Amino acid sequence: MTLRPDVLAAILGMALATYLCRAGGYALLRATRPPRFVEAMLQHLPGCIFIAFLVPTLASGGPAFWVAAGVTVATQAAFGRLALSIAMGVAALWLIGGAMPA
């Protein structure tokens, strides 16, 4: 395996850009006080991003994906443990994935 300078430069450049975006956001929010609606929006943003990734996958995934999602939600409601819920959802999709038509 050889180290290509152009690939290394691209990786380092992307890492720097990512760091500057994150650090800039923290610096900006530390220096100024955002309005209340911005604070409220930032508190709800992770859930919105999660739903934006989840819904298209479920919509195009078919019945096996819906059953696995139901198993995940039921496990979370019953036990309240995120890692267990994810594991049960993945196991359900793996077990029934080939048994149900998409």
pLDDT at 14 over 90: yes
At 53-89, the pLDDT tens digits run 889 989 988 888 999 999 999 999 999 999 999 999 9
Contacts with 81 (C-beta within 8 Å, 6 or more apart), sequence order = 75
Domain count along the chain: 2
Largest CA distance in the chain: 56
Residues 56 and 102 in one domain: yes
**What is the predicted pLDDT for the residue at 100?**
60
For residue 23, being part of any structural domain is answered with: yes
| pTM confidence score | 0.54
Determine the structural domain holding residue 2 and report its residue range.
1-32
For residue 39, being part of any structural domain is answered with: no
The mean pLDDT value for 1-30 works out to 92
